[in-house]
Every structure is written in structure tokens, then in C-alpha cells.
Amino acid sequence: MTPIPSFIYKKKNQIAMVLFVPFFALLFILIYKPLDFDTLDEKLLPWLNIDYDLKITLLSVVIVLIGMAVAAVSRLIMTAYTKHHAISYIRYIAWVALEIVIMVLIYTTATFFLSNLTGGTTITTIFRNTLYKSILILLIPYVICYIYFIWQERVGELKAIRKRLEEDENALARAYIQIMDEKGKMQLSVRREKLIGIESADNYVCVWYLNGDSPKKVMVRTTLKQIALQLADTHIMRCHRSYMVNLDHIKVLRREKEGIFIEFGIEGIPDIPISKTYAESITHWLVSEGR
């Protein structure tokens, strides 16, 4: 048998139902007076020195509170049961039906013993009338609760989907390096690990990247200074007034008379010099990253 969705009997939803259904039922009873309390003797409970209508109101409140207690106990049992067992739609409907029957028995008993019945009205008749009216009273709040629970669950699912999409978009943004031209238009989007380095060429920059295992280059009209600002929070760092490199691609640092050079170990990619201005920041990053 197909189990009902677990959110139906989540603790907070159970509490919401136990509180909302009796409240709605009480308002319905007080406004429409559907139960057989209109048959009560006006001399009922003479020790209560209050108006007859107020007596009916108090009786309605007591009956609803008893029904609320029945629902609370039932939901506590259901919560304990569903911790170890799945509950099917049929069992859940039967469970709710039993709740209503117990409430109806309480209403019937109260009406039978408190009312001044005439015309041979039997407890069976009272039970039948009360069952019919109770179903009408309880059906609306039960349906409202279930609609609200389903709506709430769908809203939660949509929020979770939006969050995952945002995380995916952020992850995608972090995975790709966007190269913008001087007007701020994106000219190249390349995966972070594929970008090798960027070389200044007058009013252009030459972007080196890997396409498969082969190095490629693209010219973009912008300056290295603008690119450095765009990539300030990445591992693409300036190592020379004319070069930026992806520190993740550095394989060898080679010192010669002319200075320090970066080797990428990629055929077709020239060695890149490191100027004294940027040597300390480059070596600090390499050391801190355990390279």
C-alpha cells in the first residue's frame, strides 16, 4: 500500500491541526448551532446562574475541548506509530474516521443525557444526526489543513530548488573565468583550470588557454590592468607588468641571471618571467598552498 507523504504527519503539522480544527469547529458551532443543543431544557444546570444562551455556549466549548483532547491523544499515538511504521492512505483515512466517530460518540452521549427529548427520539437517531453534522463541521477544517500542508510543502520544495539553482549558478560562476573587453562585454568564458595565462599586447590582451590538450589564444581589446581588477579574487595573478598567470598551472620556477621564470610544462606555451615587484606575492602564494 502506498504510504502517505511524511509531511502530513510531521510534528508541527499535527500540532497545527489539533489547534486549528477545534477552533474552527467551535466557531462553526457557535454561529450555526448544528448540534442538538436546542433541545436542552432551559432549566438545565440551574446552579449556573447565567443566561441560557451562555450555558449553550459553555457546553459547546466543553464539547469542543473534549474533541480537541481526543484529537491530541490520537495524534500523539500517530506520531509514535509513524516513527517505526509507514502509514498508508487507507490506514490514515481510517484513523481520521475513528477520531471523528469517537468525537461523535462523545457529542451523542452529552446530548442524550443533557437534553429534554420528546417524541421518542432514540440515541441511535441522535448518533446518526450528530455523525452527519459532525462530518460537515470537521470536513472543512480538515480539508483546509491538508491544502495548507501541501501548499507549505510545495513552497519548501520550490525554495530548496531555488537554493540549489543558486548554488549551481555560483559554482558555475566560480568554475569559469569571464574575460571582458574594455566596454564590459564578455568576450571569453573559460573553465578556471583551462586558463593558463594572459599577456599584454598594447591595447589588447592575449589570453592563453587549453582546448583539450592543445594551447589556444584569443585576443581581447582591453588592458591587463582591467583584467587584473576583474580577476582580483581568483588564482589568476599578475607576475609581471606584461603578464598574468594561473598559479594552479605553475609546474616549475626557474632562476636564471635574467631573473625568475615560470614553466608550465605545456608545449607551445612560452616561459613567463616574474618581475621583482610581484616575486614576493607569487612565492608567498606558492608556499602557503604547499607547492
- Across 182-193, average pLDDT: 88
Q: How much of the chain is helix, strand and coil, in % rounded to 5?
A: 55, 20, 20
- Mean pLDDT score across all residues of the chain: 82
Question: What would be the CATH architecture of the domain defined by 181-288?
Answer: Beta Barrel (2.40)
pLDDT at 167 over 90: no
Q: How far apart are CA 236 and CA 112, in angstroms?
A: 85
| Banded pLDDT at 119 (limits 50, 70, 90) | very low
The pLDDT tens digits of the residues spanning 47-71 come to 556 666 676 677 778 877 888 888 8
- Residue 259: the pLDDT is 86
Nearest to 252 by CA among 264, 260, 266: 264
Q: How far apart are CA 20 and CA 66, in angstroms?
A: 14
The pLDDT tens digits of the residues spanning 14-26 come to 888 888 888 888 8
Domain boundaries in the chain? Answer: 6-170, 181-288
Pairing of strands 176-180, 186-191: antiparallel
- Residue 19: the pLDDT is 86
| Banded pLDDT at 45 (limits 50, 70, 90) | low
The pLDDT tens digits of the residues spanning 235-257 come to 888 999 999 999 888 888 888 88
